[in-house]
Amino acid sequence: MSDASELPKKEEEEVTPEPEEQSDDSSEEEAAGATEMDFLRNLFSSTLGLGSPDKVLDELTLEGVAQYIKSGKCKNILCMVGAGISTAAGIPDFRSPGTGLYANLQKYNLPYPEAIFQIDYFKKHPEPFFALARELYPGQFKPTVCHYFIKLLKDKGLLRRCYSQNIDTLERVAGLEGDDLIEAHGTFYTSHCVSFCCRAEYNLDWMKEKIFSDDIPKCDKCNSLVKPDIVFFGENLPVRFFTSMKMDFPRCDLLIVMGTSLQVQPFAGLVGRVSKSCPRLLINMEKAGQADPLLGLLGFGGGMDFDSDKAYRDVAHISTCDDGCLALADLLGWKAELEELVKQEHARIDSEGKKEKSSESKGAAAKASSASAAPETKKEE
């Protein structure tokens, strides 16, 4: 399940990196090496019957997860989130028949739907992407209950980090800061010139002005295209994704996965990087991330196990992300606090939006007045 706020990563094409970006490749090589070591370690431990995991949850239910959080033993929660946490905000998903983003791209005359997020196509034909960006641009949507639940985890000192596949910046709008967040597939928050010789950086307001004035964003310094820092097909994930996951996942004592099908690598593989005793909660419209039976026999993959006789730590709560977060908040005694937070924050966003529109209207009126006054002055002369 992915959406317009979530961009998957395909197999990278060969691109000659800048000298300062070579750590990108080395980080990915190290990650691949670590995965191979995980495979061998799991294979040997499974074959020899070593390393029996501890059972942390009293029961494999949402209630069991809530009791664990309330026990005080859980202090390093990681969230992994995808498309499903933003659909309630009104952002369309990619693949739903009829309503999904890919089903409604005919007007852009693309050779295939995914081309709109393909880096080589973008460099030759940037117009379709920027036309779509105008429809989906950050600032037009409000964070959901799920976004604010993650913020509540932060406020209570329980959130270690949130790993997001989304590019809509709603985690930031909800109050997460840069250190709280790994935007695995990039973000609209910053943009860069695509020229390797330049790479000038631009902020959200600069890009917004260009997009909504129907201009193709060009670099002020070299006149090359400027692209939001979202990961297109054919591009590498941010270096920080690889460096942070090595620190965060071994320390994680509860993994909460929400609104993602866990099909896009390397993001999906993160569920297997927590310790074997770490509980994992999935809140989603359907079960996801389950281990391949054959690989499961080898102890490889770290996939979810919700239903087998050997299940001991994975919990699936099948619902919308907002409903699941409200249910968990209720069990934790946080429901009223969460609902009040959503109410206050949405009111603040609405108020700021009205002020911005009022300011824009006044500016447009002043501009029109100035333009109409100019010819009259000419006549008097």
Domain boundaries, the chain: 54-88+143-185+239-350, 92-140+186-230
Alpha carbon of 49 to those of 44, 141, 297, 298: distances in Å?
8, 50, 12, 11
Alpha carbon of 330 to those of 12, 209, 259, 352: distances in Å?
43, 42, 20, 30
The reply to whether 185 belongs to the active site is yes
Whether 115 shows a pLDDT value over 50: the answer reads yes
166 has binding-site annotation: yes
Buried b (16+ CB within 10 A) or exposed e, 306-327: beeeeebbbbbbeebbbebbbb
- Mean per-residue pLDDT, 167-193: 92
- Mean per-residue pLDDT, 19-40: 48
* CA–CA gap between residue 103 and residue 110 (Å, rounded): 12
- Mean per-residue pLDDT, 345-370: 72
313 vs 299: which has the higher pLDDT: 313
249 has binding-site annotation: no
- Mean per-residue pLDDT, 64-90: 94
284 has binding-site annotation: yes
Of the candidate CATH numbers 1.10.260.40, 3.30.1600.10, 3.40.30.10, 3.20.20.140, the domain formed by 92-140+186-230 belongs to 3.30.1600.10
197 has binding-site annotation: no
Centre a 10 Å sphere on the Cβ of residue 364 and count the other Cβ atoms it contains.
10
77 has binding-site annotation: no
The pLDDT of residue 91 is 83
376 vs 113: which has the higher pLDDT: 113
pTM over 0.85: no
The pLDDT of residue 136 is 76
* CA–CA gap between residue 103 and residue 97 (Å, rounded): 6
The pLDDT of residue 297 is 46
Q: What residues contact residue 127 under an 8 Å CB cut-off, 6+ apart? A: 108, 216
Q: State the catalytic residue, choosing from 185, 192, 317, 346.
A: 185
| CATH number attached to the domain at 54-88+143-185+239-350 | 3.40.50.1220
Q: Among 110-119, 261-270, 354-363, where is mean pLDDT lowest?
A: 354-363
Could you tell me which of 272, 239, 266 has the C-alpha nearest to residue 26? 239
269 has binding-site annotation: no
Q: How confident is the model at residue 60 (pLDDT cuts 50, 70, 90)?
A: very high
The pLDDT of residue 18 is 39
Whether 13 shows a pLDDT value over 50: the answer reads no
61 has binding-site annotation: no
* CA–CA gap between residue 330 and residue 134 (Å, rounded): 38
381 has binding-site annotation: no
The pLDDT of residue 378 is 45
Q: What residues contact residue 273 under an 8 Å CB cut-off, 6+ apart? A: 38, 245, 249, 250, 302
304 has binding-site annotation: no
**The Cα angle at residue 249 between residues 246 and 252, in degrees rounded to 5:** 145
285 has binding-site annotation: yes
Q: Residue 370 has what DSSP assignment?
A: H
